[in-house]
Amino acid sequence: MIEPGNPALVPDSTSLLNEFGIDRKWLAERQLIPYPEAADLVVAQIDPDGREHLLTPQTAAAWEGLVQAAEADGIVLHITSAFRSVSRQAEICRHKQAAGQSTEEIFTQSAPPGFSEHHTGCAIDVGTPGCPPCIPEFETTPAFAWLSAHASSFGFHLSFPRNNPQGFVFEPWHWRFALTP
């Protein structure tokens, strides 16, 4: 029988960190925190091509309220990416490595596996019509202006503003749900 968290299926952080040559000192400098992987997830959005976006039930409910309020103000928001498992994050990082990116480059754009908010089921990469997903120009959209003014009333906060202590690039599209900031 396969148990959840079977190391053969979900590698532990230590082996993943070793794989990418990441040590504890570097993690501490970057102020990166390991998060548990969400176990309880619901479908928050289904794309026209059938792709499902998963979030924790609480995040999905808060997101629905936010989307409706935005719509009432004439702003259309959708999910471009939500829950992503630790193993999927590792695959993405391996892919970037194979494409010749340096560790430094990879981990200013992506969190090391085990350290991404996306596997908590509480983080959303937000999209809006007319703006390609996850580009810095999202900052100039009415959607970003609306989120900056109203997202916190729904419990959503921008995770990586400019000059964030974790050393990630500015991600105007990435918002996380938390009851407290």
Tell me which residues touch Zn ion (CB under 5 A): 125, 174
Give 37 or 125: the residue with its C-beta nearer to Zn ion: 125
Closest separation in Å from C-beta 110 to Zn ion? 9
Burial of residue 26, with CB atoms counted within 10 A of its CB: 0-12 exposed, 13-18 middle, 19 or more buried? middle
Q: Is residue 83 within 8 Å of 121, Cβ to Cβ?
A: yes
Round to whole Å and give the CA distance between 54 and 40.
10
Burial of residue 97, with CB atoms counted within 10 A of its CB: 0-12 exposed, 13-18 middle, 19 or more buried? middle
Residue nearest to Zn ion (CB): 174
Round to whole Å and give the CA distance between 22 and 15.
10
Closest separation in Å from C-beta 81 to Zn ion? 6
Closest separation in Å from C-beta 158 to Zn ion? 11
Closest separation in Å from C-beta 108 to Zn ion? 13
Round to whole Å and give the CA distance between 17 and 114.
9
Give 9 or 169: the residue with its C-beta nearer to Zn ion: 169
Give 53 or 174: the residue with its C-beta nearer to Zn ion: 174
Give 30 or 174: the residue with its C-beta nearer to Zn ion: 174
